[in-house]
Amino acid sequence: MINGISAEQAIINQVFDALPEVKSQKEHVLKKGESLWGLAKQELGNKNLSNREIRDYMFLIAKLNGLDTVEKMNGLMANQKIYLPESTGEIQEMSVKEKSTVDKTVEELVNTLKNDKSVYVKGVLFGATNSNLFHIFRERTYASGYRSTQSPVLSFSIDKNGEVVKLSTNDIQDIFATKYDYEIQKDGKVLLRNYPPKVVEKLDEEQTAALFGEVQNLYNTYQKQPKKYY
């Protein structure tokens, strides 16, 4: 819980706050089987849209209709009257000006992994057995003046071929104070590490390749001179 609301609701609130106010709208009567996701995809009318663009427009429709919780978004019924943005231009303007907290988190991670010369990898050792889990640390000086040589950046797992398959990291706004916020999978899916875990976003191919590429490079360097974390 964050300030009395669920972590999932906190993310919805963040996205809603970033969305523009809809100035013109049109009426739509829901047909059986229609969903906000399907309506958003239909309204945008572009087969090359990313999942993030569709999600943003879906949330814009939800905001316009006061559907500010997952329950309300999923509780739509046939013949229910809702309103849609008159023009898709409003979401296009937002896409240029606003980035989600996940996007900002990934940008910051890639920048840190690429440019911070203090980052290093340690493998996890359980007793006498190596695991497929690894941590990336860095040197960091906190606002209090305390300097750590083992400040966590992220954790990642590898498969039997030595390929990075998923990683866990904090949101730049530190949603959860005592554990990692997100699990990011090799296919770009970003899961909120609450219970049960839920997909909150999907990175595009370029973001995914940049992030996993930097982690893979660090792991490959680690293999030449392994360090263990107990």
Q: What ranges do the domains of the chain cover?
A: 7-97, 102-229
pLDDT at residue 96 is higher than 50: no
For the stretch 181-194, pLDDT in tens is 999 999 999 998 88
pLDDT at residue 196 is higher than 70: yes
What pLDDT score was predicted for residue 88? 61
For the stretch 108-164, pLDDT in tens is 999 999 999 999 999 887 765 667 899 999 998 877 888 998 899 999 999 999 999
pLDDT at residue 169 is higher than 60: yes
C-alpha to C-alpha distance for 98 and 20, rounded to whole angstroms = 10
For the stretch 201-220, pLDDT in tens is 888 888 999 999 999 999 99
For the stretch 25-71, pLDDT in tens is 899 999 998 999 889 888 888 667 777 778 888 888 999 999 988 88
What pLDDT score was predicted for residue 19? 80
Nearest alpha carbon to residue 124 among 164, 81, 172, 156: 156
Tell me if residue 182 falls in helix, strand or coil. strand
Start-to-end CA span in the chain (Å)? 30
C-alpha to C-alpha distance for 180 and 197, rounded to whole angstroms = 12
What pLDDT score was predicted for residue 172? 87
For the stretch 68-82, pLDDT in tens is 888 898 889 999 999
What pLDDT score was predicted for residue 177? 74
What pLDDT score was predicted for residue 179? 85
Task: Return the axis-axis angle of helices 36-44 and 51-64, rounded to nearest 10°.
Answer: 110
Report how far apart, in Å, the C-alpha atoms of 2 and of each of 6, 69, 206, 209, 216 are. 6, 15, 31, 31, 33
Mean pLDDT of the chain: 84
C-alpha to C-alpha distance for 135 and 106, rounded to whole angstroms = 17
What pLDDT score was predicted for residue 107? 92
What pLDDT score was predicted for residue 206? 87
